[in-house]
Amino acid sequence: MTATPAKGRNAGAAQAPDVPPRASVIIPHLNTPELLVKCLQAVAAQRLSHGWFEIIVVDNGSRVPLDIVAAAWPGVKFLVERTPGPGPARNLGVAHARGAVLAFVDADIRVGPDWLRHGVRAVERNPDFPYGGDVRIDFADPAHPTGIEAFEAVFSFRQKMYIKRMGFSGSGNLMVHRDLFEKVGPFGPINTAEDKSWGLKAKSMGAPARYLRRMVVFHPARSSMTDVEARWGRLIAQAYSAHIASGRPAFLWEAKAWAVMLSAFAHMPMMILSTRVPTVGARIRGLSVLFQTRWYRFMKMRRIAREGHLETAMQWNRAG
């Protein structure tokens, strides 16, 4: 199937169905159909200098099926993965993909201009490494960002740090050659930080992620503190599961909880001086969210250690 309208530089794909695509864009989805449509619009607008690309959407058991969206996008391949988690959804997309380059993006993300071209070119030039790009906040009103938007612009999507310091990329903006993906293996289940686990495994095999500055996507900020806390609840559950599995002592988890709370003071300058937040007022509002979030994480880490429950790991996106 062709993934773009029958016009423009990718139109040749409709006339040569036996020619495999250069890239397969794989989008896991759960309960965000309006954002998925925006994602599809941005992805379908991408252009390659030659060849074509396909788009694969893998629904992960949404409350409402994507029949209406699928009818409006006949060139997109729609699949369903019943096993909960973005990892299994992406794995199913890979199993049905025909492209040599696998481009992963999340359903609530709007890709920037030339996102696909920059990523595909990098992978084709050096297929021995995965590539991650920048993730920026999609401000609803850039002149008046909310506190949550300001906080997330600085702290929620630190792709460059993850890649440069730890060697892995978030899978919401990740491209990799199929051969390397198959060598590393599939993404993990829902109770793991599947993108981090996959990226660290690739790194251990001599293929750390590389940062591609011009491979830019835009992610909407969460709309409320409840949504922010739901995200951190899931991440804390995954981290606690890994802590227990490693056999590390409980006092180290307790120490980490205290370090998280105290880090709010150390990170104040990052918020105040950030160039990713356009106004001073928004940075001040972001400080309030910074302290609220670190307090929540501190309390949640201590509570999950006492109670040992991991139910928040089942919430893999903010609409889950």
Q: Is the pLDDT of residue 8 over 60?
A: no
pLDDT class of 309 with cuts at 50, 70, 90: low
Contacting residues for 162 by C-beta, under 8 A, at least 6 apart: 132, 168, 169, 170, 196, 199, 209
Count of domains for the chain: 2
What pLDDT is stored for residue 5 in this prediction? 38
Within a domain: 54: yes
Q: Quick one: 39 and 139 in the same domain?
A: yes
184: left (phi over 0), alpha (psi -120 to 50) or beta: alpha
Q: Quick one: 116 and 235 in the same domain?
A: no
Domain that holds residue 235: 225-314
Q: Quick one: 166 and 229 in the same domain?
A: no
Q: Which of 167, 202, 219 is the endpoint of a domain?
A: 219
What pLDDT is stored for residue 173 in this prediction? 97
Q: Quick one: 212 and 231 in the same domain?
A: no
pLDDT digits (tens, 9 = 90+) for 85-108: 999 999 999 999 999 999 999 999
23-29/53-59 β-pairing: parallel
CATH at residue 199: 3.90.550.10
Q: Quick one: 251 and 185 in the same domain?
A: no
**Lateral strand order in the sheet of 110-111:** 77-80, 53-59, 23-29, 101-105, 173-177, 131-137, 210-219, 110-111
Q: Quick one: 166 and 66 in the same domain?
A: yes
pLDDT digits (tens, 9 = 90+) for 258-287: 999 999 999 999 999 999 999 999 999 999
Predicted model pTM: 0.79
| Average pLDDT taken over every residue of the chain | 90
Q: Quick one: 170 and 238 in the same domain?
A: no
Q: DSSP 3-state assignment of 175?
A: strand
